[in-house]
């Protein structure tokens, strides 16, 4: 299995793609072809547990990893880290409506599915491509990614991780999650400014020759844990294959039947993993792409024009508040027949004018697989409330956007196929928005009292990692100026 860039033709191994993260031409790494799940393999997968399914799927993409290396990676990532050691349970909430719960990991959001595995994939990759080198993971975060990356990389050998978050741009729960992180190789600092300031600071440090030289002199190298790294995408393919196996195993789907997948979408990573599963042979009928009020993808799927010249809204599903869905570039590359020339052109237009329009053929191909729906915060809250009333199922705001989209799709289409809906966060992670949707009384002011109230109203348990935060010690109080990020990194690396 070889990998190429979306912007020029290359032929590299998966370990190089994972170590580098992003191609030198600015493109993203993609597989040049897709391995197929034949009937024989599917017959075996159905009877495997999640770890064995993960090893089987990963081995088809990461062909330069040995079976022992994959075994080490998968065991490390998924043993003792997810509730009951079941990382991705598929819950039938109503007839045909199956929620794929991806939030039973240490930070209670779906990013754990990939970020528990990425550190292992990265260290094994780096040992192949640059033996002995320490990888320095730099992250700018608006909340969820920072904590999931910290938890994944904490105490992983040959890595150090440094996370910058905007002082005033994350929720107090998210801040508490990050500032209490344990591990000898982690550093966290709040910076003066907003997320864009943090992101711009990190990008300029990545590109700074003096910093590169400083790291090289210590046999260190920067790497990235954000969702454009193929090492974050490949773990996500696994859970869609696994969901299909669970549908077949439980008889909710017969062999040869198709089903739909709905995904609450931001950077387009999660839904793209579902598309990759289809390319491998998972029989998906439609991908229902769900957006909040930042509905740039809904418009794109309906018109073929991607236009970021629009207002940005802050919503109750903040992890989907995004105007540039980076991973869309990968889908476009495949829809254009794995041809980098049109992708270079579209991305140049996006950079220059903030928009592009795909060809009529590509739009037709897109629309044969995708439908797009969106909803605002009120509809999101109404959906949480309705799902709780009708099925006694409590979901978070991001998942509610997906359920809403699925219901819009059903209202317009007579389709009685089963659907798998990606459930991307624990409702407790967004208690301030979820609680008022299911509880009419006066709201507690304190966030931990909100968790208690939500638990009481819904008769569900507060996830242990969130409950534990209440008394956790603050280990990373650092609050720094934007201009002090380089010094902060050097101080930490000199220790």
Ligand X SMILES: *Cc1c(COP(=O)(O)O)cnc(C)c1O
Q: Is residue 65 within the footprint of ligand X (CB under 6 A)?
A: no
Smallest separation, CB 319 to ligand X (Å):
3
**C-alpha to C-alpha distance for 178 and 95, rounded to whole angstroms:** 39
**Binding residues for ligand X restricted to 401-430, rule: CB under 6 A:** 424-425
- Cα–Cα–Cα angle for 76, 59, 89, rounded to 5 degrees: 60
**Binding residues for ligand X restricted to 313-332, rule: CB under 6 A:** 319-320
Stretch that binds ligand X, among 60-68, 156-164, 262-270, 302-310 (CB under 6 A): 262-270
**C-alpha to C-alpha distance for 184 and 465, rounded to whole angstroms:** 20
Number of residues in contact with ligand X, rule: CB under 6 A? 17
User: Is 115 or 335 the residue whose CB approaches ligand X more closely?
Assistant: 115
Q: Is residue 267 within the footprint of ligand X (CB under 6 A)?
A: yes
Smallest separation, CB 140 to ligand X (Å):
14
Smallest separation, CB 308 to ligand X (Å):
16
Contacts of 390 (CB under 8 A, 6+ apart): 94
Can you tell me which of 269, 372, 427, 463 binds ligand X, judged by CB under 6 A?
Answer: 269
User: Is 90 or 126 the residue whose CB approaches ligand X more closely?
Assistant: 90
Contact 37, 45 (CB under 8 A): yes
For the question of residue 111 being annotated catalytic, the response is yes
Contact 230, 267 (CB under 8 A): no
Q: Is residue 116 within the footprint of ligand X (CB under 6 A)?
A: no
Can you tell me which of 61, 268, 300, 406 binds ligand X, judged by CB under 6 A?
Answer: 268
Closest residue by Cα to residue 332 from 351, 345, 321: 345
Contact 158, 126 (CB under 8 A): yes
Contact 64, 368 (CB under 8 A): no
Smallest separation, CB 68 to ligand X (Å):
30
Please, what is the angle between helix 50-61 and helix 67-78, to 10°? 140
Q: For residue 487, what are its two tokens? A: 């010094």
User: Is 134 or 397 the residue whose CB approaches ligand X more closely?
Assistant: 397
Q: Is residue 270 within the footprint of ligand X (CB under 6 A)?
A: yes
**C-alpha to C-alpha distance for 118 and 76, rounded to whole angstroms:** 11
- The contact mask relative to ligand X for 129-148 (x = CB under 6 A, - = no) is ---------------x----
**C-alpha to C-alpha distance for 279 and 483, rounded to whole angstroms:** 45
Three-class secondary structure of residue 160 per DSSP: strand
User: Is 185 or 424 the residue whose CB approaches ligand X more closely?
Assistant: 424
Smallest separation, CB 368 to ligand X (Å):
21
Smallest separation, CB 51 to ligand X (Å):
23
Smallest separation, CB 210 to ligand X (Å):
32
Strands (E) across 369-417 are located at: 370-374
Contact 126, 103 (CB under 8 A): no
User: Is 315 or 458 the residue whose CB approaches ligand X more closely?
Assistant: 315
**C-alpha to C-alpha distance for 203 and 364, rounded to whole angstroms:** 36
Contact 110, 240 (CB under 8 A): no
**Binding residues for ligand X restricted to 375-404, rule: CB under 6 A:** 398
Please, what is the angle between helix 328-335 and helix 269-279, to 10°? 30
Can you tell me which of 18, 88, 109, 245 binds ligand X, judged by CB under 6 A?
Answer: 109
**Binding residues for ligand X restricted to 213-232, rule: CB under 6 A:** 227
Smallest separation, CB 111 to ligand X (Å):
5
Q: Is residue 111 within the footprint of ligand X (CB under 6 A)?
A: yes
**C-alpha to C-alpha distance for 303 and 384, rounded to whole angstroms:** 29
Please, what is the angle between helix 209-216 and helix 485-494, to 10°? 0
Contacts of 314 (CB under 8 A, 6+ apart): 321
Query: Quick count: other Cβ atoms within 10 Å of Cβ 3?
Result: 22
**C-alpha to C-alpha distance for 76 and 119, rounded to whole angstroms:** 10
- The contact mask relative to ligand X for 425-454 (x = CB under 6 A, - = no) is x-----------------------------
Q: Is residue 107 within the footprint of ligand X (CB under 6 A)?
A: no
Q: Is residue 20 within the footprint of ligand X (CB under 6 A)?
A: no
Can you tell me which of 87, 166, 193, 266 binds ligand X, judged by CB under 6 A?
Answer: 266
- Single out the catalytic residue among 36, 44, 55, 111: 111
Q: Is residue 264 within the footprint of ligand X (CB under 6 A)?
A: yes
User: Is 179 or 319 the residue whose CB approaches ligand X more closely?
Assistant: 319
Q: Would you tell me which residues interact with ligand X (CB under 6 A)?
A: 109-111, 144, 227, 264-270, 319-320, 398, 424-425
Q: Which residues participate in catalysis according to the annotation?
A: 111
């Amino acid at each position: 299995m070889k990998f190429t860039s979306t912007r020029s033709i290359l032929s590299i191994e998966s370990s190089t793609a994972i170590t580098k993260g992003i191609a030198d031409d600015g493109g993203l790494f993609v597989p040049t072809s897709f391995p197929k799940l034949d009937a024989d393999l599917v017959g075996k997968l159905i009877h495997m547990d999640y770890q064995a399914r993960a090893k089987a799927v990963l081995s088809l993409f990461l062909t330069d990893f040995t079976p022992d290396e994959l075994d080490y990676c998968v065991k490390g990532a998924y043993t003792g880290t997810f509730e009951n050691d079941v990382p991705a349970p598929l819950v039938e909430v109503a007839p045909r409506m199956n929620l794929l719960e991806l939030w039973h990991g240490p930070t209670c959001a779906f990013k754990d599915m990939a970020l528990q595995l990425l550190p292992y994939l990265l260290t094994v990759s780096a040992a192949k491509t640059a033996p002995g080198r320490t990888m320095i993971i730099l992250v700018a975060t608006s909340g969820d990614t920072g904590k999931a990356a910290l938890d994944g990389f904490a105490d992983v050998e040959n890595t150090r991780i440094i996370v910058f978050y905007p002082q005033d741009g994350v929720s107090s729960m998210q801040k508490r999650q990050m500032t209490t992180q344990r591990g000898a190789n982690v550093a966290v600092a709040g910076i003066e400014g907003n997320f864009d300031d943090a992101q711009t600071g990190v990008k300029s440090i990545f590109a700074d020759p003096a910093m590169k030289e400083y790291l090289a002199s210590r046999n260190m190298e920067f790497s990235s844990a954000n969702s454009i790294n193929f090492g974050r995408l490949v773990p996500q393919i696994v859970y869609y294959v696994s969901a299909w196996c669970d549908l077949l195993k439980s008889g909710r789907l017969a062999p040869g039947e198709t089903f739909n997948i709905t995904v609450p979408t931001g950077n387009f990573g999660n839904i793209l993993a579902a598309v990759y599963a289809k390319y491998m042979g998972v029989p998906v009928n439609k991908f229902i792409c769900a957006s909040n009020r930042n509905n740039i993808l809904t418009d794109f799927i309906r018109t073929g024009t991607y236009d970021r010249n629009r207002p940005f809204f802050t919503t109750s599903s903040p992890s989907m508040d995004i105007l540039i869905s980076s991973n869309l570039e990968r889908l476009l590359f495949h829809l254009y027949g794995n041809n980098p020339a049109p992708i270079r052109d579209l991305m140049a237009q996006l950079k220059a004018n903030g928009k592009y329009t795909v060809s009529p053929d590509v739009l037709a191909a897109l629309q044969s697989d995708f439908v797009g729906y969106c909803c605002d915060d009120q509809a999101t809250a109404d959906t949480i409330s309705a799902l709780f009333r009708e099925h006694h199922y409590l979901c978070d705001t991001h998942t509610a956007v997906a359920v809403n989209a699925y219901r819009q799709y059903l209202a317009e289409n007579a389709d009685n196929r089963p659907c798998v809906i990606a459930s991307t966060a624990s409702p407790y992670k967004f208690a301030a928005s979820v609680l008022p949707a299911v509880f009419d009384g006066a709201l507690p002011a304190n966030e931990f009292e909100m968790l208690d109230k939500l638990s009481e109203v819904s008769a569900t348990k507060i996830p242990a990692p969130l409950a534990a935060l209440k008394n956790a010690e603050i280990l990373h109080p650092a609050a720094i100026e934007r201009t002090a990020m380089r010094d902060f990194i050097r101080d930490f690396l000199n220790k």
